[in-house]
Amino acid sequence: MKVSELLKPEFIVPNLKGETKEDIINELIDLFKNDPRVEDIEKVKTAVLDREKVMSTGVGKGFAIPHGKTNAVKEIIGAFGKVKEGIEYDALDGNPVQLIFLLVGKDNLISTHIKLLSRISRLMNKDDFRHRLTEADSADEIIKLFNEEEEHFLEL
């Protein structure tokens, strides 16, 4: 599965409003409130926030990848958002986070979940790609950037 297949305009927020890590995570999860693939939004929130308590998903370089696994979803879902000024996220490098990619997997799809986490991490490890994402103003532009970067990534 490609990262770009997860992202749809309705699951991208170019300017998240939350002021705390938990606010931002909830704002992204709330995008799925009326999504038929989500059976229990509160269980999704619990899975992601419980995972966050184990260790911060702020991996550094202004990027975080909050994630969790739960049978409250019928399939893997993902969302992406940006915080213009960055927020305190308890990131591993101690820096604020601007780019947040939420990934929620189903308990029995562990292999796909891990592959997607790895792919997202590799994409987001590229300084130029992260910079272009921070400059993007719309959901469509963000999707286009992910599509282009992933196509380039697959050519390697």
Selected catalytic residue, list 67, 113, 131, 152 = 67
Distance, CA of 38 to CA of 14 (rounded, Å): 23
DSSP secondary structure letter of residue 45: H
Give the number of other CB atoms < 10 A from CB of residue 109.
16
Give yes or no: 152 in active site. no
Distances (CA, A) of 127 to 12, 51, 60, 112, 138: 20, 26, 11, 25, 20
CA-based radius of gyration for the chain: 14
Bridge partners, 63 (sequence order): 60, 99
Q: For 61, list phi and psi in degrees, rounded to 5.
A: 55, 30
| Rounded-to-integer distance, Cα 63 and Cα 83, Å | 10
Catalytic residue numbers read 67
